[in-house]
């Protein structure tokens, strides 16, 4: 076997090794993209749950503000009046736009 044949064989071997490595890297890349998509989906799910929980929390706060007991009728009226003022402020701001 001459020097040229030896060089060609070495070159061919290296090319095959590079092709195999490329295929491995391509599969690894696809796996990583899949992992990213799964994490993105999980993040969206958690963000949706967070929004839902925040809404529920706001409703609970509002319900607590409106809770009326015999001892706290005046306080409840004041809180209700404040809520009405806040709503009126919002309506005014929206009507100005």
Q: Is the pLDDT of residue 80 over 70?
A: yes
Of 24 and 82, more confident: 24
C-beta neighbour count of 80 within 10 angstroms: 13
pLDDT tens, 8-65? 999 999 999 999 999 999 999 999 999 999 999 999 999 999 999 999 998 888 887 7
Comparing CA positions, the residue from 66, 89, 91, 63 lying closest to residue 76 is 66
Per-residue confidence (pLDDT) for residue 32, from 0 to 100: 97
């Amino acid at each position: 076997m001459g020097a040229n044949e030896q060089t060609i064989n070495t070159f061919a071997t290296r090319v095959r090794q590079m092709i195999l490595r490329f295929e491995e890297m391509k599969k690894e890349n696809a796996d990583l993209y899949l992992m990213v998509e799964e994490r993105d989906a999980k993040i969206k799910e958690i963000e949706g749950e967070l929004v839902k929980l925040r809404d529920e929390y706001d409703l609970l706060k509002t319900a607590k503000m409106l809770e009326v007991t015999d001892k706290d009728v005046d306080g409840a009226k004041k809180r209700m009046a404040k809520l009405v003022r806040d709503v009126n402020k919002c309506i005014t701001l929206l009507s100005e736009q």
